[in-house]
Amino acid sequence: MSVRLPGPERRESILKAARRLFSEKGYHGVSIDEIARKVDVSPAILYRHFKSKQMLYDAVLRAMSAQRESYVQTIINSGTSFEDVLTGMTQVYIKSISENPDLLRIELQSLLDKNPATSDFFKNRWKSFTDYIEFSLNERLPYDTPNREVTILTAALMFQGMLREALLQKYLQPEDRLVDVSLHELSHELVRMFLRSVGIEKSHLSRRGVING
């Protein structure tokens, strides 16, 4: 016998179970029947809340994007240097994933599923970082830098790759050799290495910035 729940609570419990299952098995790996079983309702009741699997999936994404990281607090509280802002944004992003690691799994699943709604959702999340890095480097990098445009794009890609890999290592492979390094330490070190690689040393950080070679 299933327990009778009021509508909004039932909807919430369906969303939660769906998020979990989609994150573990991907969009195509989960059926409506399986989600219904998980929350102990009949598929008919589930369909009363969500008309199709796609609509349920979209609702899961919408609920997650309502919790989109806000960088406003970071910008208000931190300095405005490239290093300060990038460090602050990284901390916010890490916090958001640590509170909801399902996001990371759904992101990976969505890369394989080729679901346009999901890929846009995750692309936009990373875009905050890549846009910020590209915009800032574009302002700072000398105009005669060889391969300037490619250098800027590659730097943004490198940062995204580093941060995503650190999160994967910490949340999806917790047995690994990085187990003694906290994500906080890891991210600080990654930001530092990144800055050095694009030619920004902490002591050189100024309004004009210094990037050479």
Partner 1 sequence: MSDFDSELDATGLNCPLPILRAKKAISAMEAGQTLRIIATDPGSVKDFEAFCKQTGNELLSSGEEEGKFTFMIKKAA
Residues that bind partner 1 (CB under 8 A): 68, 70-76, 80, 85, 89, 124, 127-128, 131-132, 135
Cβ 46 to partner 1 shortest distance, Å? 31
- Is residue 64 within 8 Å of residue 103, measured between CB atoms? yes
State which residue, 89 or 103, has the beta carbon closest to partner 1.
89
Task: At 96, list the tokens.
Answer: 């958001």
Largest Cα span, the chain: 72
Q: Which lies closer to partner 1 via its Cβ, residue 51 or residue 95?
A: 95
On whether the CB atoms of residues 195 and 201 are closer than 8 A, the answer is yes
Rounded least distance, CB 87 to partner 1, Å: 13
Find the shortest distance in angstroms from Cβ 186 to partner 1. 22
Query: Letter for the amino acid at 54?
Result: Q
Give the residue with the Cβ less far from partner 1, 47 or 71.
71
Region label for 175, one of left (φ > 0), alpha (ψ between -120 and 50) or beta (otherwise): alpha
At closest approach, how far in Å is the CB of 97 from partner 1? 17
In the three-class reduction of DSSP (H, G, I as helix; E, B as strand; rest coil), residue 180 is classed as coil
Q: How far is the CB of 90 from partner 1 (least distance, A)?
A: 12
Which C-beta is closer to partner 1: that of 13 or that of 81? 81
Give Cα separations from 8 to 5, 11, 13, 15, 125 (angstroms).
Answer: 8, 5, 9, 11, 28
Q: Is 51 or 68 the residue whose CB approaches partner 1 more closely? A: 68
